[in-house]
Structure 1
Amino acid sequence: MNLGTKTRAATLSLALAGTLALAACGAANEESDAAEGGTAGGGEAGEQLSGTLVGAGASSQQAAMQGWTAAYSSVQPDVTVNYDPVGSGGGREQFVAGGTDFAGSDAYLDEEELTAAEERCAGDGQVFELPNYIAPIAVVHNVEGVDSLNLPPEVVAGIFAQQITNWNDPAIAEANPDVQLPDLPITPVNRSDESGTTENFAEYLAAAAPDVWTYEVSGDWPVPGGEAGQGTSGVVQAVGAGNGTIGYADPSQAGDLGIAAIGVGEEFVQPTPEAAAAVVENSERVEGRGEYDYAIDIRRDTTESGNYPIVQVSYHIGCVTYDEQETADLVADFMGFVVSEEGQQAAADAAGSAPISDTLREQARTAIDAINAG
Structure 2
Amino acid sequence: MNFKRNAAVFGAVAVGAMTLAACGSDNNSASSGTSVNSAASTATCEGKDSLSAAGSSAQKNAMDNFVATYISVCKDKGTDVKIAYNPTGSGDGRTQFIAKQVDFAGSDSAIKGDQAVAAKERCAGNDAWNLPLVFGPVAIAYNLDGVDTLTLNGEVIAKIFSGGITKWNDPAIAALNDGVALPDEAITPIVRSDSSGTTDNFQQYLTVASNGAWTKGAGSDFVGGVGEGAKGSAGVSQAVAGAPGSITYVEKSFADQNNLSVAQIDSGAGAVELTDESAAKAIEGATFKSEAVGDMTLNLDSIFGTKEAGAYPIVLATYEIVCSKGYDADTSAAVKSFLTSAANEGQDGLAEQGYVGLPGTVQDKLNASIAAIG
Q: Following the alignment from structure 2 to structure 1, what is the Cα–Cα distance between the partners of residues 36 and 350?
A: 18
**3-state secondary structure, aligned to 2:253:** helix
Shift of 1:326: 4.7
Q: Is this contact kept in 2: 1:65–1:347, CA < 8 A?
A: no
Q: Following the alignment from structure 1 to structure 2, what is the Cα–Cα distance between the partners of residues 168 and 84?
A: 45
Matches within 5 A, 1:42-57: 43=44, 47=46, 50-57=49-56
Indicate which of 31, 54, 58 corresponds to 2:39.
31
Q: Following the alignment from structure 1 to structure 2, what is the Cα–Cα distance between the partners of residues 112 and 20?
A: 37
Q: Following the alignment from structure 2 to structure 1, what is the Cα–Cα distance between the partners of residues 233 and 163?
A: 21
Matches within 5 A, 1:104-115: 104-115=106-117
Question: Compared with structure 1, are the counterparts of its residues 215 and 20 closer, same or farther at alpha carbon in structure 2 (3 Å cutoff)?
Answer: farther
**Unaligned residue ranges in structure 2 (runs of 5+):** 1-19
Deviations 1:137-190 (A, max 9, x none): 211112233222111221111111122122222222222233332333222122
Q: Following the alignment from structure 2 to structure 1, what is the Cα–Cα distance between the partners of residues 147 and 299?
A: 35
Q: Following the alignment from structure 1 to structure 2, what is the Cα–Cα distance between the partners of residues 360 and 48?
A: 26
**One-letter amino acid of the counterpart of residue 54, structure 2:** G
Aligned residue in 2 for 1:16? 21
Does structure 1 residue 315 correspond to structure 2 residue 313? no
Aligned residue in 2 for 1:204? 205
**Unaligned residue ranges in structure 1 (runs of 5+):** 1-14, 34-38
Question: Compared with structure 1, are the counterparts of its residues 75 and 48 closer, same or farther at alpha carbon in structure 2 (3 Å cutoff)?
Answer: farther
Deviations 1:70-106 (A, max 9, x none): 3333123543333333443443344334443322223
Shift of 1:20: 7.2
**3-state secondary structure, aligned to 1:165:** coil
**One-letter amino acid of the counterpart of residue 32, structure 1:** A
Does structure 1 residue 264 correspond to structure 2 residue 283? no
Aligned residue in 2 for 1:154? 155
User: Which sits farther off after the overlay, 148-157 or 216-225?
Assistant: 216-225
Q: Is this contact kept in 2: 1:141–1:257, CA < 8 A?
A: yes
Question: Compared with structure 1, are the counterparts of its residues 29 and 150 closer, same or farther at alpha carbon in structure 2 (3 Å cutoff)?
Answer: closer
| Structure 1 segments (4+ residues) deviating >4 Å | 18-30, 322-326
Aligned residue in 2 for 1:119? 121
Return the TM-score normalized by structure 2: 0.81
Aligned residue in 1 for 2:366? 364
**One-letter amino acid of the counterpart of residue 270, structure 1:** E
Q: Following the alignment from structure 1 to structure 2, what is the Cα–Cα distance between the partners of residues 152 and 362?
A: 32
Q: Following the alignment from structure 1 to structure 2, what is the Cα–Cα distance between the partners of residues 135 and 286?
A: 20
User: Which sits farther off after the overlay, 153-162 or 323-332?
Assistant: 323-332
Q: Following the alignment from structure 1 to structure 2, what is the Cα–Cα distance between the partners of residues 99 and 203?
A: 31
Matches within 5 A, 1:255-294: 255=257, 256-287=259-290, 292-294=294-296
Q: How many residues align?
A: 344
Q: Among all aligned residue pairs of Structure 1 and Structure 2, give the percentage whose two residues are the same amino acid.
A: 37
Aligned residue in 1 for 2:4? none
